[in-house]
Chain A
Amino acid sequence: MITRSWPRALLHIDADAFFASVEQAINPALKGKPVVTGKERNIVAAASYEAKALGIKRGVTLWDAKKMCPGLIVLPTDYETVSIFSKRMFEIMRRYTPTVEEYSIDEAFLDITGLRRLHHASYRTIAERVQNDIRRELGITVSVGLSVSKVLTKIASELNKPAGFMAISMRDIETVLKTIPAEAVWNVGPNTAELLRRHGMHTALQFAKQPREAVARLLTKPGIEVWQELNGESVMPVIVEEKTSYQSISKTKTFTPPSDEKSFVFAQLVKNIENACIKARRYNQLATKIVIFLKRSDHRTFGLEAHIAKPSAFPLELIPIAKQLFESLFLSNTRYRATGTILCDLTTAGLIQPTLFEDPNKIVKIKSVYSAVDELKEKYGKHTIHQASSLYAQKTQHLTSRRDVPNRKLNLLKGETKRRRLPLPFLQTEAG
């Protein structure tokens, strides 16, 4: 039994209402006001705390959101600025420890075990310094959980949002877990939660208090790990590598107005496949499974998947497979509003053996075609070269009004282009 308060010291740092906060940070006039992003998709993608206070949540349609709050400020998502903020946030964290796991665009795990002497500060003070640097330099707030395992840091950061700090040391575990429902624990899915409930475990504490043998009988390895972490035993590592391997790559795009024209909808799908392939090739990944899905104008989505005999990241090889799936999925006289694809079960390129029935010359040819395509893409932009079948999707991909484009893209500096801009946030106010 470990009795020290901090056998490990891990942080979970979670940006508060990240996408909306970024907008408020670059435009001081929006501070303290209800702001949502997602204008380009007509749904709330992120809501500021002021908007949340009025009951506006992620996923609500803009129409409903505006009804709930007539003065709501609705903005298109500015992915470019958001990713600048994300990168900077991780950079600030790395001032304090090299062990930073970029868990998602607005969340990270940090390992600060043993760094108290280096920083001449307590773990709590180190956490507060990271929090302050982010607030001062980026103008956004983050919530921080300090604890002895990843699962416990997740619980801690959730407990005191926004701009909160919460520490759970070995001694605090029981007191805190008493108040946490089992299903609110990270990595406990709805099915596991149901299983735990059926065995009388409603709170995280009831789960944590089970004897190891009982847990081992009930759950598989990931579930047992959660149990260990809840008990203060850190078994999930903080993974430092930049994400270069993906379990899956998905690309989806909504088009307005919805369309029932088969060639147009297929072109949209092909374009998504091309995009997903570009990303896969960039990370040297090949897909062994492809999923395609079509979303109808009534928002119902239907999909099909196929195994790919020879793993690939090349549209020339994947599109014929997707075409077959599309043929059985597409219904005439039905209007569609979005298509998408997921490349799954990715493997690293270079480890693949050609199958017996393949023409090795053809493989080499396809590879050299696409390395040329990737080069042109670097020089002239994505979709310089594309499949003829995605032509319909190339020009009229979206009836975007100027108001749906982030300001940063509308107000270019001399020397900037639509494709390339300075990687600094631009304050959306003028200095008078």
Chain B
Amino acid sequence: MGDTLSFEEWLVPHKEASWLIHVSTEAMSSDGILPGDIAILERGRDPRQGDIVIARVDEQTVIRRYEIQNGHPTLVSTNPAFPVLYFDERTELLGVVATIIRKYK
């Protein structure tokens, strides 16, 4: 028999680097992330193609999918109402989303 994993270890695998943030956008609704959800993000980790990330762009905090398009890192939404955001030197990556929590009670 293997050892058991606590819910906490499972949801927050890297505790020292994990943070919480409220989601307030429809931008990721096709990915199943809705306004009111809570994201657990990990800081200090480099994003990979397809990761959902939290970033700071033009004084705004956004949640998007990280994609390299034609060699440029971009932040994309699956909702066509939201334009593609291109990384520049002012873009700050706050973290990679590890877990989304929607708690009803």
Identify the A interface with B (CB < 8 A).
Answer: 26, 28-29, 88, 91-92, 133, 136-139, 413-415, 422, 424-427, 429-432
Q: Given A136, A413, A431, A432, which contacts B44 in the complex, CB threshold below 8 Å?
A: A136
Q: Can you list 16 A-B contacts with CB-CB less than 8 angstroms, sorted by A residue number?
A: A28-B94, A29-B59, A91-B16, A92-B16, A136-B44, A137-B16, A414-B105, A426-B20, A427-B21, A427-B61, A431-B24, A431-B61, A432-B24, A432-B25, A432-B27, A432-B63
Q: Is the CB of B25 within 8 A of A415?
A: no
B39 within 8 A of A: yes
Known A-B contacts A28-B94, A29-B59; the reply to A424 vs B21 at CB < 8 A is: no
B76 within 8 A of A: no
Secondary structure call for the B interface: strand
Q: Is the CB of A415 within 8 A of B19?
A: no
Task: State in angstroms the CA–CA spacing of A29 and B94 once bound together.
Answer: 13
Q: Is the CB of B24 within 8 A of A425?
A: no
Kindly list 6 other residue pairs between chains A and B, CB separation below 8 angstroms, not including A28-B61, A137-B44, A427-B94.
A414-B103, A424-B15, A424-B18, A426-B20, A430-B61, A431-B54
Q: Which residues of B contact A29 (CB under 8 A)?
A: 59
Q: Which residues of B contact A413 (CB under 8 A)?
A: 38, 103
Among residues 1 to 47 in chain B, which have CB atoms less than 8 Å away from a CB atom of chain A? 12, 15-25, 27, 38-40, 43-44
Count CB-based A-B contacts (< 8 Å).
68
Q: Which residues of A contact B20 (CB under 8 A)?
A: 422, 424-427
Q: How far is the CB of A389 from chain B (nearest CB, A)?
A: 41
Q: How far is the CB of A85 from chain B (nearest CB, A)?
A: 10
Q: Is the CB of A28 within 8 A of B92?
A: yes
Category for how many chain B residues contact A? 20 to 34
Q: Is the CB of B43 within 8 A of A137?
A: yes
Contact with A along B41-63 (1 / 0, CB 8 A): 00110000000001010011111
Q: Which residues of B contact A425 (CB under 8 A)?
A: 19-20
Q: How far is the CB of B60 from chain A (nearest CB, A)?
A: 6
Q: How far is the CB of B27 from chain A (nearest CB, A)?
A: 7
Task: State in angstroms the CA–CA spacing of A425 and B18 once bound together.
Answer: 8
Task: State in angstroms the CA–CA spacing of A139 and B22 once bound together.
Answer: 18
Known A-B contacts A414-B105, A424-B20; the reply to A432 vs B43 at CB < 8 A is: no
Most buried by B among A26, A136, A415: A136
Among residues 61 to 105 in chain B, which have CB atoms less than 8 Å away from a CB atom of chain A? 61-63, 92, 94, 103-105
Closest A residue, CB atoms, query B22: A430
Task: State in angstroms the CA–CA spacing of A137 and B17 once bound together.
Answer: 5
Q: How far is the CB of B42 from chain A (nearest CB, A)?
A: 8
Q: Is the CB of B62 within 8 A of A431?
A: yes
Task: State in angstroms the CA–CA spacing of A116 and B16 once bound together.
Answer: 24
Q: How far is the CB of A29 from chain B (nearest CB, A)?
A: 7
Known A-B contacts A133-B44, A136-B44; the reply to A426 vs B61 at CB < 8 A is: no
Task: State in angstroms the CA–CA spacing of A432 and B26 once bound together.
Answer: 8
Q: Which residues of B contact A88 (CB under 8 A)?
A: 16
